[in-house]
Amino acid sequence: LGLAGCGILREAMREAVDACGTGSGSSRLICGSLGAHHELERTIAELKGTQAALCFSSGYAAATGTLGALLQKGDVVILDKLCHASLIDGARLSGAALRIYPHNHLEKLESHLLWAAQRISGSGRTLVVTESVFSMDGDRAPLEGIVRLVEDHGAMLLVDEAHAFGILGPGGRGLAAELGIQHGIHLQMGTFSKAVGVSGGFVCADRALVRLLVNRARSFIYSTAPPPAVAATATAALRLIEGHEGERRRKQLWENIALLRQTLGETAAPAQSAILPWRVGGEDRALAAAASLREEGLLVPAIRYPTVARGSARLRIALSANHDRAQIETLATALRKIGGS
Ligand SMILES: *Cc1c(COP(=O)(O)O)cnc(C)c1O
């Protein structure tokens, strides 16, 4: 949304630093829990329509802390194959049995759920983990189908909206809100570091689950609270995102996405997110392509193993509401010259 450099948030952060200084001084459970953190948590919970929320110093900390708090040996955690490293690390650290299903493959997810039901006993827990918009492919999870399966099998669901929050759904609330299925998701995770333009991670859930995280999430307990000025700026960003200015920027972003795709002739299906992977072949070709774009003044990172599978290196295009028509046309021309799809 072009928020990280925008005047409104620069001013909000300057004011917050003047009001509350640069550091929080301690972890949340000692004496680092400040008004700015509580206000941010109230704001994000209200936006997401949950009873409560908990903020972390990053999305990575939110993922590892939450999975570690919810799961232990004897539980089962089931992840989409393309889940972000933070979710995989959290799942591994938790000690729960780990099952991976092929990307967006509902039948295989169901067979893992059946396997889990056989395996867990008594108070054992099964948690399904997916992203709503996938970070390297920019495609969406079949969330409605996943919610249905999770309900049918009495499991829990965590959805990471890192790349959907701010740009999809009413007021930028994310894909779950766009589909109207938030009630079927036990934990809605996200980050303030992407569309929100600041820093920090969050988990929205009911009060009992948030209380569990406060008492068990190690990345929350044993890490200094984010600076209050950062939390206050994130709150300002959320207000902006849900309001008129956010709407204006979302509209501009989606117009930019449509323009790029149209110029590239990619109009077969509607765009699913602001991320467009551009596959150019092997890793060397991806690196060379990124370097040649850089020479033309275009910053398009090459993504390769281990961030994506071997052999699926690509350029990862992430458009912003701040890009203008001329920049997008320059990019499209350069991509056509490089080749790929
Ligand atoms: C970026 C990202 C994270 C990590 O968030 P940070 O705030 O950058 O630590 C977690 N999950 C997904 C899907 C992401 O894309």
Task: Read off the pLDDT of residues 69-111 as tens digits, 9 standing for 90 and up.
Answer: 999 999 999 999 999 999 999 999 999 999 999 999 999 999 9
In terms of Cα–Cα distance, which of 283, 289, 314, 237 is closest to 16? Answer: 237
Amino acid identity of 216?
R
Determine the atom of ligand 1 nearest the C-alpha atom of 60: 9
Q: What is the per-residue pLDDT for 266?
A: 80
In this model, does residue 12 exceed pLDDT 90? yes
* Protein residue with least CA distance to atom 14, ligand 1: 162
Could you report the per-residue pLDDT of 170-182, keeping only the tens digit for each?
999 999 999 999 9
**Of 191, 192, 196, best ligand 1 pocket probe by most atoms within 8 Å of the beta carbon:** 191
Could you report the per-residue pLDDT of 108-154, keeping only the tens digit for each?
999 999 999 999 877 899 999 999 999 999 999 999 999 999 999 99
pLDDT confidence tier of residue 197, bands split at 50, 70 and 90: very high
In this model, does residue 316 exceed pLDDT 80? yes
Amino acid identity of 312?
S
**Of 79, 103, 194, best ligand 1 pocket probe by most atoms within 8 Å of the beta carbon:** 194
In terms of Cα–Cα distance, which of 240, 235, 250, 269 is closest to 320? Answer: 250
Q: What is the per-residue pLDDT for 116?
A: 97
* 135 tagged catalytic: yes
Q: How large is the average pLDDT for residues 226-246?
A: 98
In this model, does residue 213 exceed pLDDT 90? yes
In this model, does residue 307 exceed pLDDT 90? no
Is the shortest distance between the CB of 197 and ligand 1 below 6 Å? no
Determine the atom of ligand 1 nearest the C-alpha atom of 193: 7
- E-strand ranges in 2-131 read 52-56, 76-80, 97-101, 126-131
Q: How many other C-beta atoms are found inside a 10 Å radius of the C-beta of residue 177?
A: 22
State whether residue 59 is helix, strand or coil. Answer: helix
Is the shortest distance between the CB of 230 and ligand 1 below 6 Å? no
* 251 tagged catalytic: no
In this model, does residue 311 exceed pLDDT 90? no
Ligand 1: centre distance to CA 162 (Å): 6
Is the shortest distance between the CB of 169 and ligand 1 below 6 Å? no
Q: How large is the average pLDDT for residues 55-59?
A: 98
Is the shortest distance between the CB of 160 and ligand 1 below 6 Å? yes
> Average pLDDT over the chain, rounded to whole?
96
pLDDT confidence tier of residue 218, bands split at 50, 70 and 90: very high
In this model, does residue 297 exceed pLDDT 80? yes
Is the shortest distance between the CB of 193 and ligand 1 below 6 Å? yes
Ligand 1: centre distance to CA 20 (Å): 27
Ligand 1: centre distance to CA 123 (Å): 30
Q: What is the per-residue pLDDT for 339?
A: 82
* Protein residue with least CA distance to atom 4, ligand 1: 59
Q: CA 117 to CA 161: how far, in whole Å?
A: 27
Q: CA 28 to CA 214: how far, in whole Å?
A: 9
Determine the atom of ligand 1 nearest the C-alpha atom of 86: 10
Q: How large is the average pLDDT for residues 168-193?
A: 98
CA distances from 115 to 208, 237, 282 (A): 28, 43, 37
Q: How large is the average pLDDT for residues 156-182?
A: 98
Marked catalytic residue, from 163, 199, 312, 323: 163
Ligand 1: centre distance to CA 87 (Å): 9
Q: CA 202 to CA 308: how far, in whole Å?
A: 25
Q: Are 58 and 230 in contact (CB under 8 A)?
A: no
In this model, does residue 3 exceed pLDDT 80? yes
In this model, does residue 13 exceed pLDDT 90? yes
* 48 tagged catalytic: no
Q: How large is the average pLDDT for residues 7-26?
A: 97
Marked catalytic residue, from 57, 58, 86, 135: 135
* Protein residue with least CA distance to atom 8, ligand 1: 59
State whether residue 192 is helix, strand or coil. Answer: coil
Q: What is the per-residue pLDDT for 36?
A: 98
Is the shortest distance between the CB of 140 and ligand 1 below 6 Å? no
Q: How large is the average pLDDT for residues 193-218?
A: 98
